[in-house]
Amino acid sequence: MTYILGVNAGLGIFHDPAACLVDERGTVLAAIEEERLNRVRHSAGVKAPALAVARCLETAGITAADVDVVAVGWDEPRLSARQGVPWGFDSRRVLLGQLGFYGPRLPDVQCIAHHQAHAASAFWGSPYDQAAVLVVDGNGEDEAISIYRARRGHPLVRLACWPQVFSLGHLYEAASLWLGLGRRGAGKVMGLAAYGATWNVPDPGWLTTGPHGLISTLGTDSRQDYEATKHRWHKRVRSFAGAPGPQESAGNLAADPAAVRVATAAQATVEQVVGWLAGQAREMTGIQQLCIAGGVGLNCAANGRLPGEVYVPPVPHDSGVALGAAWSLAAPRQPSVMTAYTGGWPGPLSDGHGATPRDLDVDRVADLLADGHIIGVCRGRSEVGPRALCHRSFLASPVTSHMRERMNALKRREQWRPFGPVTHADPGLWEPAGHLERYMLGAARLTEAGAAAIPAVAHVDGTTRPQRLQAADEPFVHAVLEALSQRGHPPVLLNTSFNGPGEPLVETADHALACARRLGATALVTDDALVMTGDRAAVPG
C-alpha cells in the first residue's frame, strides 16, 4: 500500500498547521489539526505539525518509514527563491526532520501550490463528478482568489486568479482588528454584522463588481505583499469608520453603531464579491455545481446566500491544504461526500478524575436536555475543522431564548454572538441549505414557526446555521434527538463547540471532563458513560 501524508507546513504557513494521511485510492485514514494536540488555538507560528503527523501515523498503525510521499500545501521552491534561498536536498531534509522523519529511508517531498491544494480539498471530497471551484482566502503564494474547473479523472485547471490587493481575507482581518477582535476574529465579525442587517450602511467601495470586473480600491499591483496590503486595508477601514477604534468593549460591540457599521460593511462586501465570483466561476466553467475553499469559505452567511448547488468541505481554511495536498497526488475516484470525523478517539477517562460514571442511557440524557441542562459530548473520532459536529459539542435545548444567554455565559462569550441548531430530521423550521448543513457551513433563514419554536438559535437577522446529523455520524446523539421528538420536544438541539475561550475544541475525554467542570456544564457524555460534572439541581431559570 502507498501512503501519502499531506501537511500544512513550511515557509508559507502562518497558522493552522495540520496533517492528513491518505492511501493510493485517496481514502482518508486520518486528518487532524496541530491545535487539537498542542492545545494552542490556531497554532500560529508553528511551521511543522509534528504532533499531528505522529497522530496520523499512530491512527493508521504505521511508522514514518512507511510513508512514501509528503505533500506540502505550499509551493516551497517558489517561496524559498523569493527569500533568496534555493530549494534543494537540504531544504527537504530539514522540513522532513521538523515533521519527524529521519533516515535512512526518507519519503519523497512534493510541493503543491496553495490554492491548488485548497481547490483539491473542496472538489475531491464533494458529491460531484464535475464542478466549478472557487478559492477565496487571505493569500496563497501570490494570489488571493482563484477559479478552477474540476472533473473526475482529470487534473484541476485554473482559469483565473486575482492578486493580494483583491484579498477578501485581508480586508475582513482589517475589520476584525479595528473592532478589537484580533486577527482571527472573522467569525465574531460575521455575527456582529447581522445587527446592521436592516441598516442603510453606505457601500465603502473597498471592492466593487460590475461590467469591468472586480475592482479594488488598492489598485492592481500584484507585487503588494501581505504587510503592505494589510496596512493599506487598515487605513481604509479606519477612514470609513471615522475613528481609530470602537467606543465599546468587545462584550458590548452590538451597542456601538460605528462597530456594527464596520462589521456590516465588511460582511456586505464579502457577500457581494463572493456572489459575483460564484457567478463568474459558473460562467467560465459552464458548470453549475460549485465548490468553495479558502478561509473565506468559513463565512456561512455568504455561503448561505449563494444560489444553486454549493459544497464547502469541513476544512475550507488553511488546515484543509493538508487534505488537498494529499489528494493532489491520490484523489478519490468516485464522488462521495467525505466524513469530517477523521481525528483521534477520546480514550478513557484517566484514573483519579473524581467523577462517577453512570450507565449511558438515551432517555436519561434526553430528560436532562429537556429539563434545561447543558451537556458536553466527547464521543468517537474528533471532527476535522473548526465546526463542532456532535463529536466534540456542547448541547442544550433551544426552546427558550434564555438558553442563548446561559450558553454564552457558560462559554465566556460575548452575549451578542449566535448559536446554531442540530437536527436529525427535516423539522421545517428553516429553509433547507443542502450540502452546507452537513458541516454547519451555511446560514439558513428561519421560518416563522422556527423563530418561535427554537429562539435560542435564532440570530438577530432571522437566520441560523444548521447541522443535519445522519445516524451514522453520531448514533447516540441521533437517538437523543429522536427521543426528544417522541416527547413532543422539537427534534432540534443547540449545538456549539466544546471548548472555553481561546481554546481549540477538546480532543480527549480528560480534556472534555476538565473543560465541562471548569465551565459548569451539568454532564459529560463519552463513548461509554454519562458523567455528572455539576449540580443537577442548579439549573438557572
pLDDT in tens, 374-412: 999 999 999 999 999 999 999 999 999 999 999 999 999
Q: Per-residue pLDDT tens for 288-307?
A: 999 999 999 999 999 999 99
| Domain match, 187 and 305 both | yes
pLDDT of residue 358: 86
Per-residue pLDDT at 145 exceeds 60? yes
pTM of this prediction exceeds 0.75:
yes
Question: Which residues belong to the active site?
Answer: 15
CA quadruple 146, 324, 35, 412: dihedral sign? positive
Overall average pLDDT of the 39-45 stretch: 95
The CATH number of whichever domain residue 304 belongs to comes to: 3.30.420.40
Nearest to 294 by CA among 427, 449, 122: 122
Query: Are 17 and 49 a contacting pair, CB within 8 Å?
Result: yes
Q: Per-residue pLDDT tens for 65-116?
A: 999 999 999 999 999 998 888 898 889 999 999 999 998 889 999 999 999 9
pLDDT of residue 66: 97
Q: What is the 3-class SS of 307-321, one letter each residue?
A: CCCEECCCCCCCCHH
| Domain match, 218 and 279 both | yes
| Domain match, 211 and 283 both | yes
Please indicate, yes or no, if residue 247 is contained in any of the structural domains.
yes
pLDDT of residue 48: 96
| Domain match, 271 and 375 both | no
Cβ neighbourhood burial of 537 (10 Å; 0-12, 13-18, 19+):
exposed
Q: Which amino acid is at 177?
A: L
Boundary of a domain, candidates 311, 338, 366: 311
| β-strand partners of 20 | 6, 31
Please indicate, yes or no, if residue 511 is contained in any of the structural domains.
yes
| Domain match, 202 and 261 both | yes
| β-strand partners of 141 | none
Overall average pLDDT of the 463-480 stretch: 97
| Domain match, 443 and 523 both | yes
In this structure, the strands spanning 523-525 and 375-378 are: parallel
Overall average pLDDT of the 120-140 stretch: 97
Per-residue pLDDT at 354 exceeds 80? no
Please indicate, yes or no, if residue 229 is contained in any of the structural domains.
yes
Residue range of the domain that includes 433: 357-532
Per-residue pLDDT at 187 exceeds 60? yes
Boundary of a domain, candidates 279, 311, 343: 311
Q: Per-residue pLDDT tens for 513-533?
A: 999 999 999 999 999 999 999
Q: Per-residue pLDDT tens for 46-72?
A: 999 999 999 999 999 999 999 999 999
pLDDT of residue 357: 82
E runs forming strands in 458-522: 463-464, 467-468, 492-497
Query: Are 525 and 369 a contacting pair, CB within 8 Å?
Result: no
Per-residue pLDDT at 539 exceeds 50? no
| Domain match, 304 and 321 both | no
Cβ neighbourhood burial of 488 (10 Å; 0-12, 13-18, 19+):
exposed
Overall average pLDDT of the 504-515 stretch: 97
Rg (CA), the chain: 23
The CATH number of whichever domain residue 508 belongs to comes to: 3.90.870.20
At residue 541 the predicted structure's pLDDT band, cuts being 50, 70 and 90, is very low
| β-strand partners of 148 | 133, 158
At residue 535 the predicted structure's pLDDT band, cuts being 50, 70 and 90, is low
Per-residue pLDDT at 454 exceeds 70? yes
Compute the distance between CA of residue 150 and CA of residue 291 in angstroms, rounded to an integer.
Answer: 9
CA quadruple 17, 22, 27, 31: dihedral sign? negative
Please indicate, yes or no, if residue 105 is contained in any of the structural domains.
yes
Compute the distance between CA of residue 96 and CA of residue 13 in angstroms, rounded to an integer.
Answer: 15
Overall average pLDDT of the 120-146 stretch: 96
| Domain match, 290 and 416 both | no
| pLDDT > 70: percent of the chain | 99
Q: Number of folded domains in the chain?
A: 3
Please indicate, yes or no, if residue 437 is contained in any of the structural domains.
yes
Overall average pLDDT of the 443-447 stretch: 98
Per-residue pLDDT at 537 exceeds 60? no
Please indicate, yes or no, if residue 507 is contained in any of the structural domains.
yes
Query: Are 168 and 296 a contacting pair, CB within 8 Å?
Result: yes
| Domain match, 225 and 322 both | no
Please indicate, yes or no, if residue 195 is contained in any of the structural domains.
yes
Overall average pLDDT of the 361-370 stretch: 97
| Domain match, 282 and 362 both | no
pLDDT of residue 68: 98
Query: Are 233 and 218 a contacting pair, CB within 8 Å?
Result: yes
Nearest to 67 by CA among 7, 15, 117, 153: 7
89-97: which pairs have CB atoms within 8 A and are 24 or more residues apart?
95/9, 95/10, 95/48, 95/70, 96/70
Compute the distance between CA of residue 482 and CA of residue 427 in angstroms, rounded to an integer.
Answer: 12
At residue 336 the predicted structure's pLDDT band, cuts being 50, 70 and 90, is confident
Query: Are 425 and 491 a contacting pair, CB within 8 Å?
Result: yes
Please indicate, yes or no, if residue 452 is contained in any of the structural domains.
yes
| Domain match, 101 and 175 both | no
| Domain match, 380 and 324 both | no
Q: Per-residue pLDDT tens for 220-276?
A: 888 877 888 889 999 999 999 999 999 999 999 999 999 999 999 999 999 999 999
**Cα 399 → chain centroid:** 26
Average pLDDT, the chain: 95
Per-residue pLDDT at 536 exceeds 90? no
The DSSP string of 172-227 is HHHHHHHTTS-TT-HHHHHHHHGGGTTS-PPP--SEEEETTEEEETT-S-TT--HH
pLDDT of residue 14: 87
